[in-house]
Amino acid sequence: MADEAVGLAGAAAGRVRRRVVVLGGGFGGMNAALRLAELPVDVTLVDRKNYHTFQPLLYQVALAVLSPADIAQPIRSILRNKRNVEVLMDEAVGFDVEAHRVTLKSGAVLVYDYLVVATGSSHSYFGRDDWAKLAPGLKTVEDALEMRRRVLLAFELAERQMLERGTHPPLNFVVIGGGPTGVELAGAISDIARLYMRKDFRHIDTRSAKVIILEGSPHILGMYPEDLQLKARQQLEALGVQLRTGAQVTDVQPGYVMVGTERIDAVVTLWAAGVQASPLGKLLGFAVDRRGCVLVDEHLNPEGHPEIFVCGDLAHFEQDGKQVPGVAQPAMQMGTYAARRIGVLVGREAGSEGLATKGFRYFDKGDMATIGRKAAVAKIVWPFKAHWSGFMAWLAWLTVHIFFLIGFRNRLSVFRQWAWTYLTLQDGARLITGSQDLPGWVEQGKE
C-alpha cells in the first residue's frame, strides 16, 4: 500500500499540467469533471460507486415504476471520450490540505493542485440513528431497492396472511417528513395501491392501504409558496393520503410510530425528514454549520484555500441572506462554476490577464414536486414566472426530468416506461429481492 501511495503521489507531482482531483460522482462532481475536460488540466474523479445516479428519480425506483438502470449510468461511459479525465472507484478518508494530498480508503494518496469536493449528503435521524433500520431514507439506489422491497412485501404478506387466517394487519404506510421526497413517496405509494396493483391480488383489496405523512412543521413543502402548498395538500388528499402537520415523531419501533403519546401502526415506515452533510466536510478541517456543511466564500472556497472548491449539498453558501438549498440545480451550477474558476486560475498561472473572476451566483429556475399520476406542483421562475399544479405541472416535471437524464438510452428507456405505465396502469419493476422479513410484521400479525 505504501508503494502504491508513493507511486500515485509521485506521478501527480511530476506532471507539468495542473492536476485536479474531483471527489464525488454526483451532480456537482460530474458537472465539474465534464467542464474540466475542456481545460488543459489532468483530472482524477473518485467515487465509491462506478455509476452516476439521477437522484430526483430515485423514488420511482423505490416504488417500482423504474428500474435502477433507467436512472443510473456508469461514470466511465459518461467520461469515455474525455481523454484528460481518469476515474477511480475508491473513497477519500483523509486530507492534508497544506500538502495538497488526499488519502483514499485503498491506501493510495493523490496529490492535487486543485480539489473539488462534492460528496453530497446522507440521512439525518436527529441523534436517533437506531431508527435507520426501521425507517430507511432515500439517497442511494440501495436505499430505493430496500424501500421497494418493504412496500411490495407488505402487500405480499397481507395476501398470504389473508389466505391463511382470513385477516391481516392494516396496511398503513407512514412517511416521516413532508418535503418533496416525502410527498413524492406518499403519492407514489397511493398510486400503486389504488391503480397499479388493484387487480393483481385475489384476497386483499390494495385500495384499503392507508398512507400517512407526518410532518413536524406547520406546512408540507415548506419551501414552496403558500398557494402551491395548498394545491399539493388538495392533490394528496384526493389520492387518499392523510396529512398530519405539527406531528413531531418521538419514537420509531417495529410496526409503529409514536407522535407524543399517540401510537400510529405502520407496516412500513419511510424516512424523509432530514439530511446531514457527508462526513468529509468535517474531515477537511474547516468551519462547518450544524449539518456539517462547509462554510464557503463567493468562489466556493473554504477560508484561506482558493485551491479547494466545495460544491452541492456539502457547501454552505449564502445568497441574498439565505442558504442555497442542497438540491440538484445548485449542485450542477456549482460544479460548472468550480471548473470555470479553475480555468481562470490556471490561466493566471500561465500569464493570462483580463479573465472573469465573478463570484458564484445561483440561477434559480424553479422547483417541481410530483405528487402522483397527473398530479404535481411547479414553481417556475425561468423562462417565465408561474405557479402550476395538476396535469400541466406533472407534464412539465416529466419533460424536465427526461431532459436532464444523462445519456440517450436512459432518456428513451424512461420515456418508454412512463408511457407504458400511463397508458396501461402497469408498473414494470415490481421485483422483491433480498430478505422476506418485514420489521414489525410478526408483532402485528400475532393473534
pLDDT in tens, 105-145: 999 999 999 999 999 999 899 999 999 999 999 999 999 99
pLDDT digits (tens, 9 = 90+) for 220-235: 999 999 999 999 999 9
Identity of the residue numbered 229: Q
Cell digits of residue 244: 398530519
Q: Averaged over 363-382, what is the pLDDT?
A: 94
14 pLDDT tier (thresholds 50, 70, 90): very low
Residue 441's pLDDT is what?
86
196-224: per-residue pLDDT in tens?
A: 898 999 999 999 999 999 999 999 999 99
| Cα 182 from Cα 63, distance rounded (Å) | 13
Could you tell me what percent of the chain has a pLDDT over 70? 93
Distance CA 413, CA 408 (A): 8
Say whether 216 sits in a helix, a strand or coil.
coil
Residue 142 a catalytic site member = no
Residue 1 pLDDT greater than 50, yes or no: no
Q: How confident is the model at residue 410 (pLDDT cuts 50, 70, 90)?
A: confident
DSSP code of residue 207: G
Q: Which of 184, 215, 237, 298 is catalytic?
A: 184
pLDDT band at 442 (very low <50, low <70, confident <90, very high): low
Q: How confident is the model at residue 447 (pLDDT cuts 50, 70, 90)?
A: very low
Cβ atoms 256, 266 nearer than 8 A: yes
Question: Which residues touch 402 (CB under 8 Å, ≥6 apart)?
Answer: 411, 414, 415
Query: Average pLDDT for residues 100-105, to the nearest whole number?
Result: 98
Condensed to tens digits (0 to 9), the pLDDT of residues 264-314 reads: 999 999 999 988 999 999 999 999 999 999 999 999 999 999 999 999 999
Residue range 313-338: mean pLDDT, rounded = 95
Percent of residues, the chain, with pLDDT higher than 90: 81
Q: Is the pLDDT confidence value at 361 over 90?
A: yes
- The Cα angle at residue 113 between residues 111 and 115, in degrees rounded to 5: 85
